[in-house]
Amino acid sequence: MAQIIIYDTTLRDGTQAENFNLSLEDKIKICRELDSFGIDYIEGGWPGANPLSTAFFERMKGITLRHAQLAAFGSTRHAGNPPEQDVNLQALLAAKTPAITIFGKSWDIHVTDALRISLDKNLEIIEDSLAFLRPQVAHLFYDAEHFFDGFKANQDYALATLDRAVAGGAELLCLCETNGGTLPGELVEIIRTVQQHFADKGQEIPLGIHTHNDAECAVANSLMAVQTGAVMVQGTINGYGERCGNANLTSIIPALELKLGLHCNAGTRLHQLYDTTRLINELANLPHNRYQPYVGDAAFAHKAGVHVSAVLKNPMTYEHIDPEKVGNERHILISDQSGRSNILMKAERFGLQLRPDDPHMASIISELKNMETQGYQYEAAEASFELLMRRALGLRRKFFELEAFSVSDHKYSMNKEPLTEATIRLTVNKTEAHTASMGDGPVNAMDLALRKALTRFYPTLKDMKLVDYKVRVLTGQDGTASKVRVLIESSDETGRSWGTVGVSCNIIEASWQALVDSINFKLLQDEQAGKLSPAA
């Protein structure tokens, strides 16, 4: 069997999930991460559907992906428009992506009740929409929306829609299980009927699969489809999507590679899976599902008793795969061995000399566990984790000492935004700096005041900027007194970016922690690059 094509639609279908929201910068960051992970096609959204999608495709024109190909998504033409005058088709072409995916109606009830057109008119729309796009795009895919329900309602018509898509020039037909209610057994039989339909015509048409999880079968249906001959799997990272979600690529990709022996490009980078899924959760500001297969914190966690005893002797006794294959790690909840290999890997990445038997290892693990107990998470705050390791190893330099800070909001008029001021008092090499700054909110004011105080000692800080800020409530039972985690992303003139984290019941304190880590990390990097001025 040919290599399986992985088509990710997190940036389109995933964003239709409840409470899943991404900024433009988030979408670009996720796109880069998916490219690094080895995803073959990344569906960026529906051009023209909203300003964010339009801006995303415009920005992506200036970004080169190493492996993935960007796909624009849209529908067949409107019944009243010829293809060359259809706004939707024109927007797809204006996105200038190497791939376009359009969907059409397979279920007769959608044609007559939703579109309110004749069945023949729908067939015409499918064919001429694809025929119009075909000469103008490198890759053209057709999503047969509601195909399985449509097949069960009117088999001949559902197959006719596929015939017209092929006639229009679609290079691959993706069969969509849009309502998520089809079970694996019937799905396989329907796919086989489709294959036989084209075989009887002497045609060999590549098929893809796109499933939803309303009956908890999205992953199973996707895997069964591939085993039946589908060459493309569409899905989302962590299974995000409308209603109960889409097929979860986080489970599908390792199952293809490790269980079925079917290869995909992302399967060669399975060690990145854990970090990729966590990054997307953090950017969407959603909690990690600790019970998620393969990448959840509990996926390879073992408590005291028979399980632990057996796993310590042979992990295969209670683990279906080696957790390191997917970038995860084994958690023996009563042992200090948990996290050791991951820490060694991070140390090597940070350029730190650390051996498995290093006496500092125990203190790093203890500190990490202590911080995680308090609510710290480092998946999207690797800069804070590097600083933690350096502190444990005695390698963290103090670039400045905080003496005091204060933040105040003044609401002078109910019709105007409040005025926010932050004051900072700190010392650098026993020299005191005392400054104040106004800002757009307390975090911005603190950021400006802190860098204002430090720039005369460390001029490179003027090129640093805060690019993202997220707050998550960790425990809701205490209401407004609940503990929060603040995640900050910063960048500088080199184009690099880094994440830092702070946790506290006081949102200002949590923000301060993340800001201080961010500046310390910037200064550390500049020091290693020989960029700190003599004034430091």
387-412 pLDDT, tens digit each: 998 988 888 888 999 899 999 988 87
Q: What is the pLDDT of residue 260?
A: 96
27 & 112 share domain: yes
- Is position 385 within any domain? yes
Taken in order 446, 448, 449, 452, the sign of the CA dihedral is positive
393 & 412 share domain: no
How far apart are alpha carbons 63 and 57 in whole angstroms? 10
Which residue reads 């959760």 in tokens? 281
262 & 392 share domain: no
Q: How many residues does the chain have?
A: 536
The confidence band for 369, taking pLDDT boundaries of 50, 70 and 90, is: confident
Give the residue with greater pLDDT, 362 vs 213.
213
Range of the domain at 518: 363-397+465-536
Return phi, psi of residue 41, to 5°: -130, 135
**Which of 118-127, 239-248, 448-457 is the least confident region?**
448-457
Q: Are 502 and 378 in contact (CB under 8 A)?
A: no
Give the residue with greater pLDDT, 433 vs 332.
433
The confidence band for 32, taking pLDDT boundaries of 50, 70 and 90, is: very high
**Alpha-carbon torsion, ordered 9, 15, 20, 26, to 10 deg:** 80
Best-predicted range by mean pLDDT among 26-40, 384-398, 404-418? Answer: 26-40
CATH number for 107: 3.20.20.70
Return phi, psi of residue 154, to 5°: -155, 85
- Tell me what the mean pLDDT of segment 234-247 comes to: 97
- Tell me what the mean pLDDT of segment 229-255 comes to: 98
Q: What is the pLDDT of residue 355?
A: 84
Q: What is the pLDDT of residue 336?
A: 38
DSSP 8-state class, residue 264: -
Query: At which of 283, 309, 325 does a domain end?
Result: 283
Q: Is the pLDDT of residue 69 over 60?
A: yes
208 & 85 share domain: yes
Q: Is the pLDDT of residue 160 over 60?
A: yes
374 & 423 share domain: no
Q: Is the pLDDT of residue 153 over 60?
A: yes
Return phi, psi of residue 181, to 5°: -105, 0
51 & 62 share domain: yes
pLDDT digit string, tens, across residues 206-224: 999 999 999 999 999 999 9
Return phi, psi of residue 69, to 5°: -115, 135
Calculate Rg over the CA atoms of the chain.
27
Q: Are 72 and 112 in contact (CB under 8 A)?
A: no
- Is position 182 within any domain? yes
Q: What is the pLDDT of residue 533?
A: 61
Q: Is the pLDDT of residue 334 over 80?
A: no
pLDDT digit string, tens, across residues 425-458: 999 988 999 999 998 888 889 999 998 999 999 9
246 & 387 share domain: no
Cα 332-334-339 angle, rounded to 5 deg? 45
Say how many domains are in the chain.
3
Query: At which of 457, 475, 490 does a domain end?
Result: 457
Return phi, psi of residue 168, to 5°: -75, -15
203 & 237 share domain: yes
Give the residue with greater pLDDT, 481 vs 70.
70
How far apart are alpha carbons 427 and 442 in whole angstroms? 22
pLDDT digit string, tens, across residues 467-512: 889 998 886 555 555 789 999 999 998 878 899 999 999 999 999 9
- Tell me what the mean pLDDT of segment 303-326 comes to: 78
CB count in 10 Å sphere of residue 429: 10
Q: What is the chain's percent helix, strand, coil content, to nearest 5?
A: 45, 20, 35
Amino acid present at 171: E
Side-chain-facing half-sphere of 275: CA atoms under 13 Å: 17
380 & 277 share domain: no
How far apart are alpha carbons 86 and 451 in whole angstroms? 52
CATH number for 518: 3.30.160.340
Which among 508, 498, 376 is positioned nearest to 442, based on CA atoms?
508
Q: Is the pLDDT of residue 28 over 50?
A: yes
How far apart are alpha carbons 347 and 344 in whole angstroms? 5
- Is position 326 within any domain? no
- Is position 328 within any domain? no
Q: Is the pLDDT of residue 124 over 90?
A: yes
- Is position 317 within any domain? no
The confidence band for 344, taking pLDDT boundaries of 50, 70 and 90, is: confident
Q: Are 495 and 505 in contact (CB under 8 A)?
A: no
Q: What is the pLDDT of residue 513?
A: 95
- Is position 323 within any domain? no
Q: What is the pLDDT of residue 91?
A: 96
Return phi, psi of residue 216, to 5°: 60, 30
Q: Is the pLDDT of residue 105 over 60?
A: yes
Which among 210, 159, 201 is positioned nearest to 182, based on CA atoms?
210
CA 282 to chain centroid, in Å, comes to 8
Return phi, psi of residue 139, to 5°: -130, 130
- Is position 44 within any domain? yes
Longest dimension (CA), the chain: 85
Q: What is the pLDDT of residue 427?
A: 94
Token pair of 502 as six digits:
């702070």
Partners of 435 in the beta sheet? Answer: 424
User: How confident is the prediction for the chain on average, in pLDDT?
Assistant: 91
- Tell me what the mean pLDDT of segment 330-343 comes to: 55
Q: What is the pLDDT of residue 268?
A: 94
How far apart are alpha carbons 44 and 21 in whole angstroms? 14
Partners of 236 in the beta sheet? Answer: 248
Query: At which of 283, 308, 323 does a domain end?
Result: 283
442 & 502 share domain: no
Within 17-138, strands assigned E span 41-45, 69-75, 99-105
The confidence band for 367, taking pLDDT boundaries of 50, 70 and 90, is: confident
**Alpha-carbon torsion, ordered 282, 284, 286, 288, to 10 deg:** -50
Give the residue with greater pLDDT, 287 vs 320.
320
- Is position 172 within any domain? yes
Q: What is the pLDDT of residue 309?
A: 64
Which among 522, 480, 508 is positioned nearest to 406, based on CA atoms?
508
User: pTM of the predicted model, to two decimals?
Assistant: 0.70
373 & 506 share domain: yes
Token pair of 399 as six digits:
């670039």
Long-range Cβ pairs for the range 384-388 (8 Å, 24+): 384/499, 384/500, 384/501, 384/514, 384/517, 384/521, 385/346, 386/346, 386/350, 386/521, 387/517, 387/520, 387/521, 387/524, 388/364
- β-bridge pairing 401-410 and 419-428: antiparallel
Residue ranges of alpha helices (H) inside 64-118 are: 87-94, 108-109
Helix (H) or strand (E) holding 506: none
433: left (phi over 0), alpha (psi -120 to 50) or beta: beta
